[in-house]
């Protein structure tokens, strides 16, 4: 008779494409987001928290994967409606702006921070759940709103620890590309398919390079695996106009705009886009945001199928080492632009909007790579337990430390092995351990062990230095808080 094995145990593992965040990561992220929120608040933006779930109808066609309409989200059917986890923070904003349009001020300025979910194929550094940090202005047609977003993004980067010179915000305009399309003979409803291929090709410039994009503008491109992607079928003259647009960056913003005016020729929409770029540059210069922080750059091609006017991207310019030890630039950490058609889906009326989204995980990784994260890893002071019968005394020490604003805890494991208590404190990255045995209690003193100094001396110090800088001191019980505060202050 077969032995009954009992119920199958579940696997203790995260689902594919998801990850867990532990204490130090969560603390570091919160500290960074608090700094960004302070900048947004200073600019007059209000916080907004929306539901993690939206109707698929509300999400509409503005989904992350343009090649799979109405896919790319985690969705389920409920009472004949299809619901989905939000894939970004912009689609919920459009719904809010339409739903509460009679109650909200116009323009409505909001910022939002939180997780989003995308049902896409995961890969290295690519997860199905990640954090976004957005700020948007809904209801302002003036490009002054776009300029303000760029200035605010610049301030936010510097506030979290990215100094001037380590980043640049690049600004472009979808209308200029529309003008270039017009000059290239790609305007009109009958050219929509070709325009779509051109937009997707331009959007792949960073990945495919100039020659790869040029191939997609023509007959098509075969990748390393042998797969062939059909191109837009442009003739050489048409392709040259489009390629000229991506190569229009000059020494100054004025020279770049002059080159773009040449490219858009007689196109009215193109000329309008160039004029908007010039106005944005003037508005930013008047506030002191020069080319050391923000530049006009036609090579910015992010999401041009989605945006309707100015687009911008924040790029970190410093070098880091990749997994093979090779130097490379960190790249983009934020982007956004004007999207005047999104709210219109709900209201039937054109509602101008512009905004930016910061890639929270990428920005955190950049700060970590430069050693600019605040020390969020420091654990609590650990009060060790030497005598089970004196738990109330140990809890009293913990309470005194907490009342003084010092993070502290009492060891709650098995106190029999004192070495395990110190190992616990080390694993918790505790700065200080408090020790009081029966003898110390009788004399009204405690031992205060500086774990940071102790670890440093163990690695680097000579015997003389070890003796001159004792990592453990005995102080009166009444001086416990002051001593711990002094040690922690010494270590910053």
**157-175 confidence digits (pLDDT tens):** 999 999 999 999 999 999 9
Q: Where are the domains of the chain?
A: 16-141+340-377, 164-309, 381-490
Label residue 368 by pLDDT band (50, 70, 90).
confident
Beta-strand runs (E) in 72-198? 75-78, 81-85, 108-117, 129-138, 167-173
381-490 CATH, one of 3.40.50.300, 3.40.50.800, 3.40.50.720, 3.40.50.2300:
3.40.50.800
d(CA 105, CA 413): 55
Structure tokens belonging to residue 431 = 């700065």
pLDDT number for residue 54 = 92
Q: Compute the average pLDDT of residues 182-192.
A: 85
Q: Comparing C-alpha atoms, which of 133, 143, 196, 199 is closest to residue 171? A: 143
pLDDT number for residue 193 = 83
Indicate whether 466 pLDDT > 70.
Answer: no
Long-range CB contacts (< 8 A, 24+ apart) of 113-116?
Answer: 113/33, 113/36, 113/37, 113/360, 114/49, 114/52, 114/89, 115/52, 116/85, 116/86, 116/87, 116/88, 116/89
Q: Exposed, middle or buried by CB within 10 Å (0-12, 13-18, 19+), for 240?
A: middle
Q: What is the CA radius of gyration of the chain?
A: 29
Query: What fold, for 16-141+340-377?
Result: BirA Bifunctional Protein; domain 2 (3.30.930)
Contact (Cβ atoms closer than 8 angstroms) between residue 358 and residue 333: yes
Contact (Cβ atoms closer than 8 angstroms) between residue 361 and residue 410: no
Indicate whether 69 pLDDT > 70.
Answer: no
Indicate whether 281 pLDDT > 90.
Answer: yes
In sequence order, the 6+-apart residues with CB closer than 8 A to the CB of 110 are 45, 46, 47, 48, 93, 135, 136, 138
Indicate whether 467 pLDDT > 80.
Answer: no
Answer whether 16-141+340-377 and 381-490 agree in fold.
Answer: no
The total number of residues written for the chain in this structure: 492
Q: Exposed, middle or buried by CB within 10 Å (0-12, 13-18, 19+), for 125?
A: exposed
Indicate whether 437 pLDDT > 90.
Answer: yes
Indicate whether 113 pLDDT > 80.
Answer: yes
List % helix, strand, coil for the chain (3-state, nearest 5).
Answer: 40, 20, 35
The position carrying tokens 């605010």 is 152
Highest mean pLDDT among 10-19, 237-246, 330-339, 402-411: 402-411
Q: Compute the average pLDDT of residues 237-259.
A: 89
pLDDT number for residue 376 = 52
Q: Exposed, middle or buried by CB within 10 Å (0-12, 13-18, 19+), for 3?
A: exposed
Label residue 62 by pLDDT band (50, 70, 90).
very low
Indicate whether 324 pLDDT > 80.
Answer: no
In sequence order, the 6+-apart residues with CB closer than 8 A to the CB of 125 are none
Indicate whether 70 pLDDT > 70.
Answer: no
Indicate whether 278 pLDDT > 90.
Answer: yes
Distances (CA, A) of 190 to 133, 187, 195, 203, 419: 38, 8, 10, 22, 77
Label residue 438 by pLDDT band (50, 70, 90).
very high
Indicate whether 456 pLDDT > 80.
Answer: yes
Task: Give the predicted TM-score (pTM) of the model.
Answer: 0.83
Contact (Cβ atoms closer than 8 angstroms) between residue 335 and residue 314: yes
Contact (Cβ atoms closer than 8 angstroms) between residue 115 and residue 129: yes
Label residue 79 by pLDDT band (50, 70, 90).
confident
Label residue 439 by pLDDT band (50, 70, 90).
very high
Q: Check the CA dihedral 455-457-463-466 and report its sign.
A: negative
Distances (CA, A) of 298 to 147, 381, 423: 16, 53, 56
pLDDT number for residue 68 = 47
Lowest mean pLDDT among 193-202, 288-297, 473-482: 193-202
d(CA 356, CA 303): 12
In sequence order, the 6+-apart residues with CB closer than 8 A to the CB of 445 are 436, 474, 475, 476, 477
* CATH 3.30.420.40 matches 164-309: no
């Amino acid at each position: 008779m077969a032995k009954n094995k009992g119920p199958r145990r579940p696997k203790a593992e995260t689902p594919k494409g998801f990850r867990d965040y532990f204490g130090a990561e969560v603390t570091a992220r919160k500290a960074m987001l608090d700094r960004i929120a302070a900048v947004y608040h200073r600019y007059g933006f209000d916080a907004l928290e929306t539901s993690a779930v939206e109707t698929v109808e509300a999400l509409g066609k503005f989904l992350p994967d343009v090649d799979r309409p109405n896919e790319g989200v985690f969705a389920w059917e409920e009472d004949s409606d299809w619901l989905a986890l939000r894939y970004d923070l912009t689609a919920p904003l459009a719904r809010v702006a339409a739903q509460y349009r009679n109650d909200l001020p116009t323009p409505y300025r909001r910022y939002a921070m939180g997780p989003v979910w995308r049902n896409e194929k995961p890969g290295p550094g690519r997860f199905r759940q990640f954090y976004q940090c957005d700020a948007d202005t809904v209801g302002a047609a003036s490009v002054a709103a776009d300029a303000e977003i760029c200035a605010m993004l610049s301030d936010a980067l510097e506030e979290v620890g990215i100094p001037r010179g380590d980043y640049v915000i690049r600004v472009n305009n979808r209308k200029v590309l529309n003008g270039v399309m017009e000059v290239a003979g790609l305007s009109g409803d009958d050219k929509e398919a070709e325009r779509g291929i051109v937009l997707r090709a331009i959007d792949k410039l960073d990945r495919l390079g100039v020659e790869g994009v040029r191939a997609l503008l023509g007959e098509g491109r075969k990748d390393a695996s042998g797969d062939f992607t059909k191109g837009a079928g442009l003739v050489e003259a048409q392709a040259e106009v489009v390629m000229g647009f991506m190569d229009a960056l000059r020494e100054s913003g004025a020279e770049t705009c002059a080159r773009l005016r040449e490219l858009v020729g007689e196109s009215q929409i193109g000329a309008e886009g160039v004029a908007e770029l010039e106005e944005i540059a003037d508005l930013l210069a008047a506030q002191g945001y020069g080319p050391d922080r923000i530049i006009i750059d036609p090579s910015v091609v992010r999401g041009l199928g989605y945006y309707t006017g100015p687009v911008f991207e924040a790029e970190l310019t410093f070098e880091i080492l990749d997994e093979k030890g090779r130097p490379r630039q960190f790249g983009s950490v934020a982007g956004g632009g004007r999207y005047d058609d999104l709210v219109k889906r709900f209201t039937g009326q054109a509602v101008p909007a512009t905004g930016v989204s910061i890639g929270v995980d990428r920005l955190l990784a950049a700060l970590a790579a430069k050693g600019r994260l605040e020390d969020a890893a420091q654990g609590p002071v650990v009060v060790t337990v030497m005598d089970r019968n004196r738990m109330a005394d140990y809890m009293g020490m913990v309470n005194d430390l907490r009342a003084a604003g010092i993070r502290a805890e009492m060891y709650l494991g098995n106190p029999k092995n004192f070495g395990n208590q110190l190992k616990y404190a080390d694993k918790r990255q505790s700065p200080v351990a408090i020790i009081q045995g029966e003898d110390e209690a009788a004399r009204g003193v405690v031992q205060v062990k500086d774990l940071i100094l102790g670890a440093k001396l163990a690695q680097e110090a000579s015997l003389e230095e070890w003796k001159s800088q004792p990592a453990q001191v005995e102080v009166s019980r009444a001086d416990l808080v002051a001593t711990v505060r002094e040690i922690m202050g010494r270590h910053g």
